[in-house]
Structure 1
Amino acid sequence: MASQHCEGRGWETWQEFTMTSKFRGAYLQIIPLGISHAKFTKSGNHYTWRKVTTTVHNIIVGKLWVDNHGEMDIINHKNGDKCHLKFSTYSYFSRDIPRKVTGVITTKEGDAKWVLTGTWDKKMEGAKILHVDESNKGKPVFETGPHFTLWEKKPLPPGAEKMYFFTRLALELNEPEEGVAPTDCRIRPDQRLMEDGKWDEANKYKVQLEDKQRAARKKRELEAEEAKKKGEDFPPYTPTWFVRKTDSATGNPIHMYNGQYWDCKQKQDWSRCPEIYI
C-alpha cells in the first residue's frame, strides 16, 4: 500500500493506492483498489476516480505489451457532475482503434452535456452535446458541436529509447535536492548508484537494504509477541507523514497527509524520521 500527496499552485492531489493481481501465465492483471483525489482551490471542484485494470501481456514468451481496460467514473463532489469513461479492451479482430477511450459527462440530474473520445496513450477530445435523440430503441444518439483537444501526449525527450522511454517529468523526479528528509527516496543509495551506472554496487546495497528491512520487521514482530504474552498493548505502526481518517468525500478509510512535512523541512527537524538507509 502507498499513500501520496502533492500540492501545486491552485491545486492538490492525493490518493491511497493498493491492488490485487491475477497471474495467468500468458498475462498479469493488476486491479487497483485505491481512490484518487484532485481538488482545485479557486473553483472548489473536487474530483475522485479509481484507475481501471491494467493487463501486461506476453509475460513469458513474446514482446511485452500493456493494455488498460474497464470503466471509470470521475465524480465532481462539488456539484455532482459525473464523467463515465470506457477503456475498450484491445482485440486483434476489432475494427476500433487500439487503446480507445469513450465517455459522457452528465449533470447530477443525469443530463448528458459532453462526449469524450480518444485514446489513453495519445490524445483525448471533447465535444458539447447540442441535442439528444432518444428514439433509437433506448440508446441515445448525441448531436454534438465541434471536437477540440482536451489533452495530448507531449513528445518524448531526445534519447528516450536509452532511458526506458520515460517522459521528462519521470526523468526529473529523482533529481537530487538538498534539505529533504533522510528517508527521501532520492538519497536511497542503491537507487542513486543505479542511476550513476554502477550496477554491481547498486545490487550489493539493494540486498543490504532488504536485509535491514527484514530484520526491522522481525524485531517488531518479536516485540509484539512479547507484549502479547505479558498482556500489554503493543502500539501499531504509524506513518510519519500520514494519518488514517475517514474520507469525507467517499466515506472510505484512507491515509491522509498530516500537513507536517513542510514545517519540518523549513525547520530542518527530521528527528521523527527512522533510519532506513545504510
Structure 2
Amino acid sequence: MAHKPVKSARKRRTSIPEKPNYPLNLWSIMKNSIGKELTKIPVPVNFSEPLSMLQRLTEDFEYSYLLDRAAECSDSCEQMCYVAAFTVSAYSTTSTRSGKPFNPLLGETYECDRRDDFGWRAVSEQVSHHPPMVAQHCDGPGWECYQEFTMSSKFRGKYLQVIPLGISHLHFPKTGNHFTWRKVTTTVHNIIVGRLWVDQHGDMEIVNHKTGDKCNLKYVPYSYFSRDVLRKVTGCVSDANGQVRWVLMGTWDQKMECCKVLNSNTSVKGKPVIETGPPRMLWKANTLPSDAEKYYNFSQLAMELNEPEENVSPTDCRLRPDQRLMEQALWDEANEEKVRLEEKQRAARRRREAEAEAAAAEGTSSADGVEYKGYTPSWFRKELDPYTNQYTHMYTRDYWDCKEKQDWSRCPDIF
C-alpha cells in the first residue's frame, strides 16, 4: 500500500500571526527596475511572504503520496502518470499566492523531517548567491527526489516573468527508473495596477532515462480571448517507440486526470484518432482554510514550514531574524534586520575576495592571476550528473548524521 499521510505525533501549529495592512507604493520602488534581474532589486519585506525560497521548494512535496503510489507501479508508463501529476501539483498554491519568498542568504539551509506523517525528509541549501541557486534532496518511501533550482527573472513593467533553469530528478531505487524535468515559466501580472495574479505556462518534458518513456505536458497560457478552461494542463505519455499510452488532462490549481489509450488509429486525413478508457483521478488539490487570505493564502503545510524547532542547524532559515520578525507582523524591525543581514553577507564575500588576493600576492594562487574559489557549500558538492552530463550540486548524505551528533562545525556564521 502507498504511504498515506497520517496524523503527526507532534502537535503542529494551525495558524500564524495575521498579515498586517501596510500600504506601500510599489511603483516608487519598481520604476527604476524595469528590465533588471529580480534578484538585484532591493525589495522590502512588505512584498514578501514569511517563508524562504528553501521552504517554498519544500512545499513541492505537499502531495508526496503521488510519488508513493508511483513507487508501487509495475508499469513504467502508468508510473509516469503519477510523476506527471506530482510535477503539476507543485503549482497548486501559486494561484492564490503572489507574495515573494525570501531570497536565502548564501549558506542558508532548511531541513524538514516529515517521516512521522508523510514519510519523507528533505534538506535544502543556498549553494550560490550570484546566480542565486538552491540545492535540495528529499528521501521518501521507495523514492528520492533532488534538484538544483536557479532562475532567470525580469521585470517588464506590467508583469514579472520567472524562468526556472535548474533540473529536477526523481529516482526509484527498486526499478532504477530515473525521471528528469524542468519547471515551466511563471508570470506575475498587474505588478503596478490592479490585483496581482499568477499564471503558469509553457511546455514540460518528463523523461524516464531508463526506459525511454516520455511525457509532454502543455501548460496553456491565459488568454483574454479564449473561452477555454483557465489554468489548463494537457499532455500524453508515450513509450520508447513513441506510442501514446496515456492521455492527461486537468488544471494546475485543482486536479489532474488520466485516461488509458485503448486503441490508436490513423484517420483518412492523416491525423491520429485515439480511443481511451474512462478517466481516472490522479490528484486533487486540498482546500485552503476559509480565512486563508489573512495568512498570506498559506496551505496547512505552508503554515507548518516555519514553525520553530530545536536542534536544527544554526543556518536553518527558521532562525533567520528578519523572516521571523516579519511572520510576527513586526515589518519595520524586519526591514532593519534584512539590511543588516545583507550587509553581513556582502562583508563575508569581501573577506573571501581579500583572502584570494592575499594568496595571489604570496604566490600561492594560479599563475593566471587570482584564483577565487568562492563559497564551498556545507551539505552539497558539485559532481558530474550522468543523466544530464552536466555538473550539478549533489547531496553529501551526511546532514542527518551531523544533526544526530549536533556537529555543526562546518556551518558558516550568516545570521
Q: TM-score, normalised by structure 1?
A: 0.94
What 5-or-longer segments of structure 2 have no aligned partner? Answer: 1-132, 366-370
Identical residues among aligned pairs (%): 64
SS class of match (1:47): strand
1:242 aligned residue (363, 380, 385)? 380
Q: State how far apart, in whole Å, the 2-side matches of 1:18 and 1:78 are.
A: 26
Residue of structure 2 in register with 1:46 after alignment: 178
| 2:389 aligned with 1:251 | yes
Q: State how far apart, in whole Å, the 1-side matches of 2:241 and 2:390 are.
A: 24
More deviation, 71-80/222-231: 222-231
Q: State how far apart, in whole Å, the 2-side matches of 1:229 and 1:138 are.
A: 71
Code of the residue aligned with 1:24 in structure 2: it is R
CA change 1:135–1:251 in 2 (3 A) is same
Residue of structure 2 in register with 1:217 after alignment: 349
Deviations 1:117-169 (A, max 9, x none): 01111111100011112225343221100001111111113421111111111
Deviations 1:6-38 (A, max 9, x none): 122222211001111233211111111100012
Code of the residue aligned with 1:264 in structure 2: it is C
Code of the residue aligned with 2:204 in structure 1: it is M
Q: How does 1:1-278 map to 2 (within 5 A)?
A: 1-135=133-267, 137-233=269-365, 234=371, 235-277=373-415
Q: State how far apart, in whole Å, the 1-side matches of 2:291 and 2:155 are.
A: 33
Q: State how far apart, in whole Å, the 2-side matches of 1:58 and 1:194 are.
A: 24
Cα deviation for residue 204 of structure 1 reads 2.3
Code of the residue aligned with 2:188 in structure 1: it is V
What 5-or-longer segments of structure 1 have no aligned partner? Answer: none
SS class of match (1:175): coil
Deviations 1:157-199 (A, max 9, x none): 3421111111111111111221111111111122222222232
Q: State how far apart, in whole Å, the 1-side matches of 2:177 and 2:188 are.
A: 34
Contact 2:352 2:374 in 1 (8 A): no
CA change 1:200–1:108 in 2 (3 A) is same
More deviation, 222-231/19-28: 222-231
Code of the residue aligned with 1:100 in structure 2: it is K
Q: State how far apart, in whole Å, the 2-side matches of 1:163 and 1:204 are.
A: 23
